[in-house]
């Protein structure tokens, strides 16, 4: 399932002022990696994690990994 990025206006990296672009990101936690599509800064590599994701699915994944 893919969630549409409904963010509307383009987001920019606070440090580099460059527009964030959608790209494949390898996110890892406690040695487990996941390939996800997130907004990244092409300049510094900063990855933008929407709050809803951080507090939602991503937190669930964290908890699941810690729970092992």
Contacts with other proteins by CB under 8 A lie at 1-5, 22-30, 32, 34-40, 45, 47, 49-50, 53-55, 57-64, 66-68
Question: How far apart, in whole angstroms, are the C-alpha atoms of residue 13 and residue 33?
Answer: 24
Q: CB-based contacts of 12: which residues, under 8 Å, 6+ apart? A: 18, 19, 20
Q: Return the number of the residue (12 or 64) whose C-beta is nearest other proteins.
A: 64
CB of 9 to other proteins, least distance (A): 15
CB of 44 to other proteins, least distance (A): 11
CB of 43 to other proteins, least distance (A): 12
């Amino acid at each position: 399932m893919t969630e549409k990025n409904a963010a509307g206006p383009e987001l920019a990296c606070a440090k580099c002022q460059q527009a964030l672009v959608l790209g494949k990101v390898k996110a890892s936690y406690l040695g487990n990696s996941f390939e996800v599509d997130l907004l990244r800064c092409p300049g510094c590599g900063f990855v933008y994690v929407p709050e809803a994701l951080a507090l939602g699915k991503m937190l669930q994944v964290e908890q699941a990994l810690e729970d092992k």
